Structure 1
Amino acid sequence: MSVVGGEMGARTGARASGATSAAGRLIALGRAELTLLGRSKLMIYSGVFAPLLITYGMKAYFSEQLDPEKTGLSIGALMLPAALGMALLMAVYNNLVGVYVTRREDLVLKRLRTGELADWEILAGGALPAVLITLAQCVLYVAGGSLVLGVGMPKAPHLVALGIVIGVVVMAGLAALTAGITKSAEAAQLTPTPLFMVSLVGSGVFFPLAMLPDRLAQVLELLPLSPVMGLLQAGWTGGAAPGETVKQLVIGLVWSGIAVFAGQRWFRWEPRR
């Protein structure tokens, strides 16, 4: 076991042994993971700064290629949901795949399973720092972005909140699933790419699905991140038609259930060397 893996296992085991509740065990594990996360400059950059930088770099694209009259959204109302979507993909999904695979290959997860932690607690505790960082990012993006871009706060903040919560659950579950098929920490830099690229192009991050032909849009609406982006974009416009919002919620909740079930069912706890 690596030095980092042994250190995390020892710290978490000591803290969790004194925790009498699931919440206490989750906090102990999350605190240990946050310590390790703070030592990884790459993960800090990719999870905290990259989503904002990439979204800002897309400003020229949004301004020149997307017609607000066709999309029904202003440039700011396009960029802010895109920033939130990028944060979910990079800070939660991409980062967690690397975290789960690295901890598994270092035998940290195997050691944690010998204690009182349940499997779901290990996965949730490992995801806790990434989730909290993402939620903080989303708050900063909404508040700061609304001021800088002059679009104001969301007209339907409850839809934005629902979109973020569903997005966190879906991305965390899919991260665990992807980690299960990833053989090494090096491979973890590549295996998230297919879902990442499909979500960017087909889930409404780069452009609203309303710009596409109806039949194609109906298919792409079924992608994991599509209902999340639909809710985020509707949050700035004041909400879509009630039927459309209900459909997005249903699809999002279905994906949440699928992601959580599949992530736990097919996660690999043993090293795949």
Structure 2
Amino acid sequence: MAAGKRWKIMRTDVLHAVRLARLDLTLVARNTTVLFNVLLMPLLMAWLFTQAQGGVSVAGVPGPVYVLTGVPGLMLGFAVFINLVNSYTSRREELVLKRLRGGQPSAAAVLGGSALGALALFLGQVALLGVWIRRSEGVLPSNVPLLVLAAFLGVVLFALFAAAFSAITPNAEMAQITVLPVILIMMVGSPIAFPAGEMPGPLGTISNLLPVTPIVKIMRSAYLGADHFSSGGGALSTLEQWTGALPSLGLLLAWIVAGALLARWLFRWEPRRG
């Protein structure tokens, strides 16, 4: 009986999460500014990066291919982090989160619904990027399951970060300022355009420890079927890709634990004002 009740509660939460995800995707589609910021802005930045890397070889692959297979790390900042900081903050200040929390859905369903919508956006961006890479460079992904796993864990991580950062964001208008330091660090410090090992001195070590770096390394290696966990770029079998990804997956899971603790400690259901 208890197991049946738990299953019913879980099923209800899943249905609520899916409804919230569909609502979020509808709102994004109707808002031209949000649609541009979360969907088109990263693709525009990817194009600018590829122009800077044209004709250059990086870690054994053409510069544009290297950049495009690393751009999903930047997309996480827009489709997930910025999007959800805005969503969580505006809903908190408008008492939407409070009303949802007081109803049937659990906290996980309320927050997970928005994260599920962000996951759909992110996977859509990755699919568009895959079409771009196929048409321009003739390259298809080598290890789709590993690619999807890294994408899923990346969305989980940045959804947790978004929940934590929404707590220090007074309103939706201030969200663009709150998220700016994180986006700048992702753009400058993550190995999108060049390997972390090429950064001078301790900057390379810092880059390797950033939360977005293991995501970029796993997705690039899974897409190209090559060792981009280091700066080598040598070909890897499917099994070697999985074993090579283990240190990056371990670091990523450690960041997810840290993000979960931060979100639990900081996240607010009530408006910040009195």
Change (3 A) 1:49 1:41: same
Q: Which residue of 2 aligns with 1:115?
A: 103
Q: CA deviation at 1:76?
A: 3.4
Alignment of 1:148 with 2:139, yes or no, is no
Q: Which residue of 2 aligns with 1:54?
A: 45
* CA–CA separation in structure 1 for the residues paired with 2:149 and 2:270: 35
Equivalent AA in structure 2 for residue 270 of structure 1:
E
Q: Which of 99, 102, 106 is residue 94 of structure 2 equivalent to?
A: 106
Residue 169 of structure 2: SS of its match in structure 1? coil
Q: Which residue of 1 aligns with 2:173?
A: 186
Check the 8 A contact 1:204/1:226 in 2, yes or no.
yes
Residue 38 of structure 1: SS of its match in structure 2? helix
Q: Which residue of 2 aligns with 1:255?
A: 255
Q: Which of 207, 216, 221 is residue 203 of structure 2 equivalent to?
A: 216
Check the 8 A contact 1:47/1:91 in 2, yes or no.
yes
Listed one character per residue, the Cα deviations across residues 51-80 of structure 1 (whole Å, up to 9, x for unaligned) are: 11111122221126xx41x53332232122
Q: CA deviation at 1:198?
A: 0.5
Check the 8 A contact 2:80/2:122 in 1, yes or no.
yes
Check the 8 A contact 2:29/2:35 in 1, yes or no.
yes
Q: CA deviation at 1:24?
A: 1.1
Alignment of 1:166 with 2:157, yes or no, is no
* CA–CA separation in structure 2 for the residues paired with 1:265 and 1:178: 11
Listed one character per residue, the Cα deviations across residues 76-131 of structure 1 (whole Å, up to 9, x for unaligned) are: 32122233222211111111111110111111001111111111211111222222
- Percent identity of the aligned residues? 31
RMSD: 2.2
Check the 8 A contact 1:180/1:266 in 2, yes or no.
yes
Q: Which residue of 2 aligns with 1:6?
A: none
* CA–CA separation in structure 2 for the residues paired with 1:138 and 1:60: 19
Q: Which residue of 2 aligns with 1:26?
A: 17
Alignment of 1:205 with 2:207, yes or no, is no
* CA–CA separation in structure 1 for the residues paired with 2:246 and 2:199: 21
Residue 54 of structure 2: SS of its match in structure 1? helix
Residue 267 of structure 2: SS of its match in structure 1? coil
Q: CA deviation at 1:151?
A: 4.1
Q: Which residue of 2 aligns with 1:8?
A: none
* CA–CA separation in structure 1 for the residues paired with 2:141 and 2:11: 40
* CA–CA separation in structure 2 for the residues paired with 1:54 and 1:100: 25
Check the 8 A contact 1:169/1:260 in 2, yes or no.
no
Change (3 A) 1:212 1:151: farther
* CA–CA separation in structure 2 for the residues paired with 1:236 and 1:256: 23
Q: Which residue of 1 aligns with 2:80?
A: 92
Equivalent AA in structure 2 for residue 245 of structure 1:
A
Q: Which residue of 2 aligns with 1:265?
A: 265
Equivalent AA in structure 1 for residue 195 of structure 2:
P
Equivalent AA in structure 2 for residue 154 of structure 1:
P
Query: Structure 1-normalised TM-score?
Result: 0.84
Q: Structure 2: where are the runs of 5+ without partners? A: 1-8, 230-239
* CA–CA separation in structure 2 for the residues paired with 1:226 and 1:19: 33
Change (3 A) 1:161 1:122: same
Check the 8 A contact 2:54/2:64 in 1, yes or no.
no
Query: Structure 2-normalised TM-score?
Result: 0.84
Residue 152 of structure 1: SS of its match in structure 2? coil
Check the 8 A contact 1:159/1:239 in 2, yes or no.
no
Change (3 A) 1:106 1:135: same
* CA–CA separation in structure 1 for the residues paired with 2:93 and 2:16: 22
Check the 8 A contact 2:163/2:267 in 1, yes or no.
yes
Alignment of 1:43 with 2:39, yes or no, is no
Check the 8 A contact 1:19/1:25 in 2, yes or no.
no
* CA–CA separation in structure 2 for the residues paired with 1:102 and 1:73: 43
